[in-house]
Chains A and B, each alone.
Chain A
Amino acid sequence: MTLARVLFYLMSFIVLASAVFVASTKNLVRSVFIFFITLFGLAGLYVLALADFVAITQIVIYVGGILVLILFAFMLSSRENLDAIQQQKSRFLSVDKLSALILAGLFFVVMLNMIFKMDTGNLGWIKQAVSANNVIKPTDLVTDNIGINLMTRYLLPFEAISILLMIALVGAAHLSRKEEME
């Protein structure tokens, strides 16, 4: 068992355990803060999949941006309302949770079955990539290659996504303005 494998098990345990905690806890603030840990663990998994740049982006955008946004929205909603939600949740506990558990469990079994039937080591294009030496090795520098590809091969999706990001930000600012002016 190599060090990378031990780290992989550690990271995936952290990710899955914190995700289960996020899903099961009744305290909303606690679930948001534990979600931080899930995202950090996922960044570690991206590093183990040899994608350093994606891991850094994950930390900057998710942890720095999205979670702060969620916390803001959470703190803007009032306290009585949140208490009411918590009481309501504990009343309807069993039926909702049971059906959701069955649904998630069935999805899990089906997709796990599919993954083991797929036999990922023998997929055609993966074999091709291995034989053509097109596999990222731990010693490679990938980030500069990503930059070059982003500006040449994937320029159109890059521009499209920047326009979409601008539209979404303008739309979010428009949606969250005060309505008393009308």
Chain B
Amino acid sequence: MITLTDFLVVSVALFCIGLYMIVSKHNAIQILIGIELMLNAAILNLVAFGKYDKLNNGGQVFALFAIVLAAATTAVALAIILNVYRRYKTIDPGEVNRLKD
């Protein structure tokens, strides 16, 4: 039998890897991947707790909502990254420090 604690430990490890990527990377696409890892850790938590809600399925339904939200976020973030690249010719967030003109 897999207990709740096992899922939580995996999810915490995944969250910390995502945090490390967000802090240390110099590339906006890799930072986006780090955010996706953290989101997936949160979804894993929702699903693991959702096992104890058979009638209302709260955890699983909101895991679905979180996946859809992640898709929307990624689409907008990639559009912003493309725009930033077109204007600054770089996608390093540390280099993007000028306003428009």
Contact = CB atoms under 8 A, between A and B. Distances in A.
B67 A57 contact: yes
B71 A176 contact: no
A48 interface: yes
Interface residues of B, number: 74
Interface in A127-167: 129-130, 134-136, 140, 142, 145-146, 149-150, 153-154, 157-158, 161, 164-165
25 contacts: A23-B34, A28-B29, A35-B33, A42-B40, A42-B44, A46-B44, A49-B7, A51-B47, A51-B51, A53-B60, A53-B64, A69-B75, A70-B74, A73-B78, A100-B24, A104-B17, A111-B16, A120-B5, A129-B53, A134-B52, A135-B52, A135-B54, A157-B65, A172-B75, A175-B83
Interface SS, B side: helix
Nearest to B95: A88
Interface string B58-73: 0111111101111111
A30 B100 CA distance: 34
Contacts of A101: 20, 24
A59 B66 CA distance: 14
* SS of A interface (majority): helix
Contacts of B17: 16, 19-20, 22-23, 104
Nearest to B32: A70
Nearest to A13: B10
A58 B67 contact: yes
